[in-house]
Every structure is written in C-alpha cells, then in structure tokens.
Structure 1
Amino acid sequence: MKIAFISDIHGNAVALEAVLNDIKQNEIDKIYVLGDLCYRGPEPKRSLELIRSLNTEVIKGNADEWVVRGVREGEVPQKVIELMNVERDWTFSKLEASDIAYLAKLPTSINCEVNGIRINAFHATPDSLFEIVLPNVDDAGLQSSLMSSQDAQIYVYAHIHKAYIRHLNGKVLMNVGSVGLPFDGVTKASYGLIEIEEGKLKTSIQRVDFDAERVIELYRDVDYPNAEMMSGIVRNARV
C-alpha cells in the first residue's frame, strides 16, 4: 500500500498538477490532503477543483480558515496583516459560495489505520491550525507538541513548508513540506510518501519539478496583489 500526503498547495495549480502526475506514475494507492489549498497563489479556483476531483479526505489548514473569515490580529505580524487581507480578499473573489462553504466545513485531522499501522495527520499541530513547530525542536518538544494526542505509529503534519522525517521512540514523525510554496531553498514541489507492505514500513519525501516561471507569469497575468514578493518565493523557495 502506497499513501501520499500532500499539503500547502497555496493556489499553485501548476505545481499541484506536477505532483499529481508524479503520484500517478508512482502508482500510489491513496492520497490525503493536509490543507492550505487556495490562498496566496494565482489559481485558487483551479487548485481547489483539482483537490476536490480527487474524492479523498481533505483537512483544513490555517490559510483555508483565512479564506473563509479573513486574517485576524495576532495571527500574523501586525505590519503584514493589511496586505495579507488584500490577498485574502482577492482569493475570496475568485471562489464561489459553494467553495467557501466547502473550506469552512473541512475537518482538522485524519486518523486512519493501514495494514495495522495507525496514522495521525493534521495541518500544524493536533490542537492548532496556526502553531509553528520547526524541525530543529528537540525530541521532547516534538513529542509534546505533535505526538501526544493519538496512539499512532506515524504522525504527519505540514504548515512549515520544510519537509523532514524524524524517528522518535519507535515512531515516525513526518512533515510533508509544500506542493506550491517550498521554503527550504529547493525549487521543487514536495510531498510525503508512506509505503506499508507485509509488516514493513518505509517513509520518504518526494520532490517534483514544476514550471516555476509559468507560475510567476500567472501572478502577473491575473494581477495578483503582492505578485512581486510571491514570485520571489516561488523562484527561490525561500521567504
């Protein structure tokens, strides 16, 4: 059984298509989606349509919550909140009422069992859509923040746009990185892969090429607010 976890598409349908093609070529059996579907990319509607066409389990990320109700004080630095809400309003304007209702109703976690292996997946932490847990946190911090809410063998999250895998006390913690806006300096889309077969478990991070210059062109074509900064992130894979 091959399971892909994708997340943080952020309206980058070009990268999402590349990842979905890679998943198909790898003959992956199941896809789970860990949130942040539309906001901050040039193609929010098409990205959401691609995700919904998968007919799979999707959970909510902080950016999905922002599309629904806006960015609030205390959730981002005060100096950027106005601009981020301009971007949010632009994204909101490209979606239909049914899309907003879909985002609003998304659950916040996935708990599944595959061939006896229990998996707990969420966007940022089990208790928050917004908390940031980076890969340099010590083992105790990772366990208390990310691995205490469910009795699972594998814990999967996203949100930070930096993929990694850690093994703690016989369990696996995986961050799947970002499809649309990687922040780790590697200008390739990222997703997590779990393979379970006859009691054997394998986890890996997959990196996929996509046409970054086409995405940058789209930011300009659609007159996206804050296009220059977002184009720089796409081109350099850094904030």
Structure 2
Amino acid sequence: MKLAFISDIHGNAVALDAVLNDIKEKSIDRVYVLGDLCFRGPEPKRALNLIKDMNADVIKGNADEWVVRGVQKDEVPEQALEMMNAERDWTYSKLEENEVGYLRKLPNELNLKYENLKIHAFHATPLSLFDVVQPFEKDELLTDKLMINEADIYIYAHIHKPYVRYINGKCIVNTGSVGLPFDGLNQASYVLMNVTKDSFQVSIVRVKYNEHEVISQFKKSNYPNIDMMTKILANGRI
C-alpha cells in the first residue's frame, strides 16, 4: 500500500499541481492532507478546490482556523498581527461561504491502521493547532508533545521542515510544506509511505515547480504582504 501525506499548501496551487502529478505518476493508493490549505498564497480558491476534488481525508491546520475566524492576539508576534489579519481578510474575500464552511468543519486528527501499523496524523500536535515542535528538539519533548496516542508512526506538519526521526522504536515524520517550504530548498515537499504486512518505509519527496510563476501571481495581485511572501518562495526559507 502506497500512502502520501501532504500539507501546508498555503494557496500555492501551482506547487500543488506539481505534487499531485508526482503522486499520480507514483501510483499512490491513498492521499491524506494535514491542513493549511489556502491562507498566504495567491490562489486560495483553486488550491482549496483541488483538495476538495481529491476525495482525500483532510484535517484542519492553524491557517485554516485563521481563515475561518481571524488571527487572534498571542497567536503570532504582536508586530505581525495586523498584517496577518490583512492577509487573512484577503484570503477570505476570495472564498465562497460554503468553502469557508468546509474549512470550519474539518477534523483535527486522523487515526489510521494499515496491516499491523497504527498511524496518528495531526497538524501541529495532538492537542494544539498552534504549538511548534522543531526537528532539533530533545527526545523527551517530542515524546511529550507528539506521542500522546498509542501508534507506530506519528506524522505532522506545521513547521514547513520535513524530517524523519525514530524514538524508542517509534517513527516521527514531518511532511514539510507543499507550497511554502522553510528549509532552504524551494521545492514542494511531501511524505511517501510504503506499507506491507511486515514492514514500512517512510521517505521525504521533493518536487520542483515553477516558483517564478507563483511570484508573478503575487506581484500581479493586491495581496497585502507581497515582498515577504515572494522572498520566502524564492529562497525557501522565512
């Protein structure tokens, strides 16, 4: 069984197109989407509807929650709050009410089982859409924050930095980001998982896409934070 886990599209439909083409070429059996579908990109509506048309299991990310109800105090640095709400309002204005309603109703986690393998999937942590757990954290912190439910593989998103790590015989995986990577490589990222009766393999897949097209889309729009977003797209880091 081939599984793909994608996340953090952030309204970058061009990158999502490239990832979906790669998934199709690999004959993947099932796709799961771990949130942050349309906020902070030039094509929020198209990105959201590409996801909806996939018939995939989708969970909510912090950015999906922000689209629904705005960015609240203490969720981001104080100096960024006004700008991020301007970005949220721009994104919201591009969506229909039923599309916002779709985001509102998304669940927060997935508990999956393939063969003898249990997979717990969530956006940031099992208890929060907003907590940040970085790849370099100590084993004890990852265990306390991420490994709450009983599972063999814990897979999350949110930090835009893909990695695979093993702790006490358990596997922790981060998908990275389809549309807005932060690890210095401006290519889309997702996780490919091969599951058989007696084994599993987890790998990070990087996919090239035309970031110049997305930068051009931003520059032709009235998006409130063009300079910052185009720099992230060009450099692959915040």
TM-score of Structure 1 vs Structure 2, range by shorter chain: over 0.9
Please tell me the residue identity of whatever aligns with 2:176: G
Please tell me the residue identity of whatever aligns with 1:206: V
Please tell me the residue identity of whatever aligns with 2:126: P
Alpha-carbon separation, structure 2, partners of 1:70 and 1:211: 30
Structure 2, unmatched stretches of 5+, are none
Per-residue deviation, residues 144-191 of structure 1 (Å, max 9, x unmatched): 10012x111000000000000001111100001000000000111000
Please tell me the residue identity of whatever aligns with 1:224: Y
Please tell me the residue identity of whatever aligns with 2:25: Q
Q: What's the counterpart of residue 194 of structure 2?
A: 195
Residues paired across the two proteins, number? 238
Alpha-carbon separation, structure 2, partners of 1:139 and 1:151: 17
Alpha-carbon separation, structure 2, partners of 1:117 and 1:228: 44
Query: Counterparts of 1:148-159 in structure 2 under 5 Å?
Result: 148=148, 150-159=149-158
Q: 1:80 deviation in Å? A: 0.7
Query: Counterparts of 1:30-179 in structure 2 under 5 Å?
Result: 30-148=30-148, 150-179=149-178
Alpha-carbon separation, structure 2, partners of 1:67 and 1:75: 14
Q: 1:35 deviation in Å? A: 0.2
Please tell me the residue identity of whatever aligns with 2:155: V
Q: 1:222 deviation in Å? A: 2.1
Q: What's the counterpart of residue 185 of structure 1?
A: 184
Alpha-carbon separation, structure 2, partners of 1:64 and 1:213: 25
Q: What's the counterpart of residue 207 of structure 1?
A: 206
Per-residue deviation, residues 94-115 of structure 1 (Å, max 9, x unmatched): 0000001100000000001011
The RMSD of aligned alpha carbons is 0.6
Structure 1, unmatched stretches of 5+, are none
Please tell me the residue identity of whatever aligns with 1:193: L
Kindly report structure 1 stretches of 4+ aligned residues shifted beyond 4 Å: none
Normalising by structure 1, report the TM-score.
0.99
Per-residue deviation, residues 121-149 of structure 1 (Å, max 9, x unmatched): 0000000000000011011110110012x
Please tell me the residue identity of whatever aligns with 1:125: T
Alpha-carbon separation, structure 1, partners of 2:65 and 2:172: 25
Q: Does 1:7 align with 2:2?
A: no
Q: Does 1:223 align with 2:222?
A: yes
Please tell me the residue identity of whatever aligns with 2:169: G
Q: 1:220 deviation in Å? A: 1.3
Alpha-carbon separation, structure 2, partners of 1:197 and 1:59: 25
Please tell me the residue identity of whatever aligns with 2:80: V
Identity among equivalent pairs (%): 57
Normalising by structure 2, report the TM-score.
0.99
Alpha-carbon separation, structure 2, partners of 1:171 and 1:80: 37
Provide the secondary structure at the position in 2 that maps to 1:232.
Answer: helix
Alpha-carbon separation, structure 2, partners of 1:101 and 1:167: 37
Alpha-carbon separation, structure 2, partners of 1:12 and 1:19: 11
Provide the secondary structure at the position in 2 that maps to 1:195.
Answer: strand
Alpha-carbon separation, structure 1, partners of 2:194 and 2:19: 17
CA contact (8 A) 2:123 2:156 kept: yes
More deviation, 97-106/193-202: 193-202
Alpha-carbon separation, structure 2, partners of 1:28 and 1:170: 26
